[in-house]
Structure 1
Amino acid sequence: MPSIIEELAEELLKAELSKQPIDPLTTRYRELTANDAYRIQLEAVKRRLKDGRKVIGKKVGLTSKAMQKMLNVDEPDYGHLFDDMKVKSGETVQMNSMIMPKVEAEIGFILGADLFKPNVTFIDVMMATEFLVPALEIIDSRISDWNIKLEDTVADNGSSAKVVIGEQRREMAALDLRSTSMVLLKNGDVAATGAGAAALGHPAHAVAWLANKLYEYDIPLKAGELILPGALSGAIEVAAGDTITAQFGSLGSVSVSFE
Structure 2
Amino acid sequence: MTPSQTALTDALVAARRGNRTLDATPWTDTLGNDTQAYEVQDAVAAALGWFGATALPRTWKSGGGSRSATLTLTHAPLPPAGVRQSPADFSDLVFHTPGIEAEIALRLGSDVTPAQAAKLDHPDTASLIDAMAVSVEIVDARWQDLPTTPALLRLADSQVHGALVLGEWRPYAAVDWASQRCETQVGHADTVVRVGTHPLSDPAWLLPIWLRHLTRHGQTVPAGTVVTTGSWVGVLPCRRGDQVTAEFPGIGAVRLSV
Gaps of 5+ in 2: none
Instruction: Tell me if structure 1 keeps the 8 A contact 2:28–2:150.
Output: no
Residue 138 of structure 1: how far off its partner (Å):
0.8
* Counterpart pick for 1:94 among 91, 116, 129: 91
Opposite residue 19 of structure 1, the aligned amino acid is: N
Q: Between the two proteins, what is the percent identity of the paired residues? A: 22
Query: 1:110-152 CA deviation, whole Å, 9 max, x = no partner?
Result: 1111233203222332111110011001111011131322101
Deviation for aligned residue 1:173: 1.9
Mapped to 1, the partners of 2:219 and 2:182 lie a distance apart of 31
Partner of 2:149: 148
Larger relative helix fraction: 1
Q: Is the 8 A contact 1:26 1:151 kept in 2?
A: no
What is the aligned partner in structure 1 of residue 172 from structure 2? Answer: 172
> 8-17 or 131-140: which moved more?
8-17
Does the 8 Å contact 2:23/2:145 carry over to 1? no
Matches of 1:88 and 1:3, distance apart in 2: 39
Matched, 1:192 2:178: no
- Residues in 2 aligned to 1:153 and 1:220: alpha-carbon distance in whole angstroms: 26
Task: Supply the distance in 2 between the matched residues of 1:163 and 1:94 (Cα, whole angstroms).
Answer: 13
**TM, length-normalised to structure 1:** 0.85
1:224 CA displacement? 1.0
Q: Structure 2: how far apart are the matches of 1:27 and 1:91?
A: 35
The residue identity in structure 1 corresponding to 2:91 is Q
- 1:114-153 equivalences under 5 Å are 114-116=111-113, 117-146=117-146, 147-153=148-154
Contact 1:107 1:196 in 2 (8 A): no
Root-mean-square deviation over aligned CA pairs: 2.7
1:26 and 1:152 in contact (8 A); partners too: no
Is contact 2:51-2:79 (8 Å) kept? no
**Where does 1:19-168 land on structure 2 (aligned, <5 Å)?**
19-24=19-24, 27-29=27-29, 32-49=32-49, 55-61=57-63, 63-65=64-66, 74-75=70-71, 76-94=73-91, 97-116=94-113, 117-146=117-146, 147-167=148-168
Deviates more, 1:244-253 or 1:177-186: 177-186
Q: Larger deviation: 136-145 or 122-131?
A: 122-131
Measured against aligned partners, the alpha-carbon deviations of 1:21-63 in whole angstroms (never above 9, x if no partner) come to 11216754266322211111122233344776983311114x1
- Residues 79-107 of structure 1 deviation map (CA, whole Å, 9 limit, x = unaligned): 10121111221222127612221110110
Aligned residues: 251
Whole-angstrom CA distance in 2 between matches of 1:87 and 1:15: 23
Shift of 1:12: 1.0
Unaligned ranges ≥5, structure 1: none
Q: Is the deviation greater in 2-11 or in 236-245?
A: 2-11
CA deviations 1:210-247 (Å, max 9, x no partner) are: 11233334454331111111111211111123111111
CA contact (8 A) 2:50 2:80 kept: no
Distance 1:25 1:145, change over 3 A: closer
CA contact (8 A) 1:56 1:82 kept: no
**C-alpha distance in structure 1 between counterparts of 2:92 and 2:234, whole Å:** 20
**CA distance in structure 2 between the partners assigned to 1:12 and 1:47 by the alignment:** 10
Query: Contact 1:178–1:203 at 8 Å: present in 2 too?
Result: no
Q: Which moved more, 1:112-121 or 1:20-29?
A: 20-29
Which residue does the alignment assign to 1:201? 201
CA distance change for structure 1 residues 189 and 22 in 2, over 3 Å: closer, same or farther? closer
